[in-house]
Structure 1
Amino acid sequence: MSRIFTTSVASVYPLYVTKVERKGRTKAELDRVIEWLTGFDDTALRAHLAAGTTFEEFFAAAHLHPRSALITGVVCGVRVEEVEDPLMQQIRYLDKLVDELAKGRPMDKILRA
């Protein structure tokens, strides 16, 4: 089992915020991307962050967007569409969306509109 599975989302979330804000995007945009992927609205996301939910628990409770399978590309040298473990793939989907947001990609493209 990968260590990231038992890492709390709350411990990584501030790093996501810093990454997107450093590139001129907002926390609200980040939260919108997370909501699109997981189905968690702001209240649910805050509850998971406050509870110290692990990535494993976070994605077990999530309702992934039907178009999440359209997320492709490379994160940390790994093609997200080729990741075998379903949980690791979901974590990589999130990483990829955060990367796209930080790189200034238009929101409609990030959300696979």
Structure 2
Amino acid sequence: MPHPIFTTPFAKVYPLYVNKAERKGRTKDEVDRIICWLTGYDAKGLQRQVEAGVDFQAFFDQAPALHPNVALIKGVVCGVRVEEVEDPLMRKIRTLDKLVDELAKGRAMEKILRA
């Protein structure tokens, strides 16, 4: 049975990412930049996905291209090591969680985007 997050609308979680960042003095634009960097969506494509109400499965299935540096993202989020997550979709979701977490913790954008 698939994890419930897979069928959760991305648009339901997206505002939570933005709120988490904004509570720590970061911006929606920075969250969008991270999501676009990770998935290959441009700003309009991201907005279309949010408005369409696609679930996480479709959001990542329809993503233009995962960034080639995604393998450089390591560490723990929600008590789980991102690089050890077996399920490919869950790993992508946890990776996104990790990037937003780094933003909220004040990490420099260049380091978050593994530049």
Instruction: Please tell me the TM-score bracket, short chain as reference.
Output: over 0.9
- Distance, in Å, in 2 between the alignment partners of 1:65 and 1:91 is 14
Q: Which residues in structure 2 correspond to 1:23-102 (within 5 Å)?
A: 23-62=24-63, 63-102=65-104
String of CA shifts for 1:8-43, please: whole Å, max 9, x gaps.
Answer: 010001111110000000000000000000001110
- Tell me how far apart the structure 2 counterparts of residues 19 and 76 of structure 1 sit (CA, whole Å): 14
Q: Percent identity at matched positions? A: 68
**Deviations, residues 57-101 of structure 1 (Å, cap 9, x unaligned):** 001111100000110000111100000000000000000000000
Distance 2:77 2:108 in 1: 19
Matching residue's letter, 1:55: F
Per the alignment, in what secondary structure is the counterpart of residue 25 of structure 1? coil
Misfit runs of 4+, over 6 Å: none
Query: How far is the alpha carbon of 1:48 from its aligned partner?
Result: 0.3
Alignment of 1:9-20 (within 5 A): 9-20=10-21
**Ranges in structure 1 where 5+ consecutive residues have no aligned partner:** none
Report the aligned-residue RMSD: 0.4
> In the alignment, residue 51 of structure 1 is paired with which amino acid?
A
TM-score computed with the length of structure 1 as normaliser: 0.99
Question: How far, CA to CA, are the matches of 2:46 and 2:109 in structure 1?
Answer: 19
Q: TM-score, normalised by structure 2?
A: 0.97
Q: What letter matches 1:84 in structure 2?
A: E
Letter of the structure 2 residue corresponding to residue 95 of structure 1: D
Aligned length: 113
